[in-house]
Amino acid sequence: MPTILITGAGRGIGFEFARQYSEAGWTVIATVRSPDSIPMVESLGGGVQVALLNVADPASVAILCERMRGTALDMLINNAGLYGPRSPQIGAVPYAAWQEVLDTNVMGAMRVTEAFLPHLRAGERKTIVAMTSKMGSMADNTSGGQYIYRSSKAALNAVFRSLALDLAPEGFLVSILHPGWVRTDMGGPRALIDVHESVTGLRRVIEGLTPDESGRWFDYAGREIPW
Ligand SMILES: NC(=O)c1ccc[n+]([C@@H]2O[C@H](COP(=O)([O-])OP(=O)(O)OC[C@H]3O[C@@H](n4cnc5c(N)ncnc54)[C@H](OP(=O)(O)O)[C@@H]3O)[C@@H](O)[C@H]2O)c1
């Protein structure tokens, strides 16, 4: 069975990815930032292995990468993400918080992808997923604001579009995905869909991704999103 590594698997969409891939019989390396999340993920049982990983901390990434040396990975899901301050106002932009969001959402995803490329090269599926958000779409931005989160996801898109082109000659598929507006701690209780519907759809889109679609942007229902 294939092996997958998921970042930010302690709750929300990442946890549901771990649950569903484990249920489907995959070997799941479910990574969590805090030891407090370990018991919850361990309760999934089956083929789930829990590991600590803070994507914003280069040392944390290096430690897990070294521990997993020689392990082939079929798929990496860069799911870990931060929203940051909700409504930064002009004149009071919190730059330190912005830096933290960029370090997690953009550099964190690149850092993990770069570190685990040898493991992915040794795998069969060679699939890399970036969990982005429609909030990063220029075309869809008709309401303004949300400078921090929007810019982080737009930058993430740019990075993974380039990765798709750069890694295509090696047979990699790069899936850039919007999960929908999902009821999680980040999405809030008024969101439109639950994690089950979102992740079920996302898995279907990942499974059906063709080389021609690598590096393009789709939502959980397979609808293409304009940059
Ligand atoms: N929910 C939505 O409506 C929605 C919409 C569009 C896109 N997304 C994207 O989907 C992804 C998952 O969102 P969610 O709704 O499940 O969010 P969530 O419930 O807030 O969970 C976020 C996860 O990311 C982890 N995380 C944050 N910073 C991290 C770091 N430095 N290192 C490792 N893990 C870190 C968190 O770990 P801790 O538990 O330790 O904090 C948590 O497990 C995110 O990338 C988000 O931007 C969500």
Closest C-alpha among 115, 162, 108 to residue 131: 108
**Protein residue whose Cα sits closest to atom 6 of ligand 1:** 133
- Please answer whether residues 176 and 216 qualify as being in contact, where contact means their C-beta atoms are separated by less than 8 angstroms: yes
Is it the case that residue 46 has pLDDT exceeding 90? no
* Mean of all residue pLDDT scores within the chain: 97
Domain ranges for the chain, please list them.
3-219
pLDDT of residue 93: 95
**Protein residue whose Cα sits closest to atom 10 of ligand 1:** 131
- Please answer whether residues 132 and 153 qualify as being in contact, where contact means their C-beta atoms are separated by less than 8 angstroms: yes
Mean pLDDT of 58-72: 97
Q: Is 34 exposed, middle or buried (0-12, 13-18, 19+ CB in 10 A)?
A: exposed
C-beta atoms surrounding 51 within 10 Å: 17
CA of 186 to the centre of ligand 1 (A): 7
pLDDT of residue 216: 98
Mean pLDDT of 170-179: 98
CATH no., domain 3-219 = 3.40.50.720
CA of 169 to the centre of ligand 1 (A): 31
Residues with CB under 6 A from ligand 1: 7-8, 10-14, 33-34, 37, 53-56, 79-82, 104, 108, 131, 133, 178-179, 181-182, 184-187, 191
What percent of the chain has a predicted confidence (pLDDT) above 90? 97
